[in-house]
Amino acid sequence: MPLSLIRTLEANVLWERDEKEWHFIESGSDIKEYSGKTYPARELQYTVTLLNGQTITGGIVAPLYVGNRGEQQTLVLHKRQKGPIGQKLTDLAYVQRVDLEP
């Protein structure tokens, strides 16, 4: 869908929690061993509002290139995020809303 048709993108958090780190005890095993460490995880979906007012909701995984006064920044729209071990959930940043100018 062309960005020229989009008015806004808004994130909706489906779930967010601290996940326990684990690995399988050995190759081919279905037995998990937990390390005692955690990492933040979140699943998102986005509501896209078009210029005509129509809305579409679903998972989006895409880069978003933002330019401002000669500087370009890349933001990533994630469906599922996973932070590094030990990071707090409140420190796991995500794009909450994007307003596009027609």
pLDDT in tens, 9-31: 999 999 999 999 999 999 999 99
Which range (43-47, 57-61, 64-68, 92-96) has the least confidence? 64-68
pLDDT at 33 exceeding the cut of 70: yes
Quick one: tokens of 72?
């370009």
pLDDT at 99 exceeding the cut of 90: yes
**Strand ranges, E, within 51-95:** 55-58, 62-68, 71-77, 80-82
pLDDT at 79 exceeding the cut of 90: yes
CA distance 76 to 98: 12
The per-residue pLDDT for 101 is: 78
Q: Enter the DSSP assignment of 2.
A: -
43 — pLDDT class (breaks 50, 70, 90): very high
Task: Determine contact, residues 102/7, Cβ cutoff 8 Å.
Answer: yes
pLDDT at 70 exceeding the cut of 90: no
The per-residue pLDDT for 102 is: 67
Whole-structure pTM value = 0.83
Mean pLDDT for all residues in the chain? 94
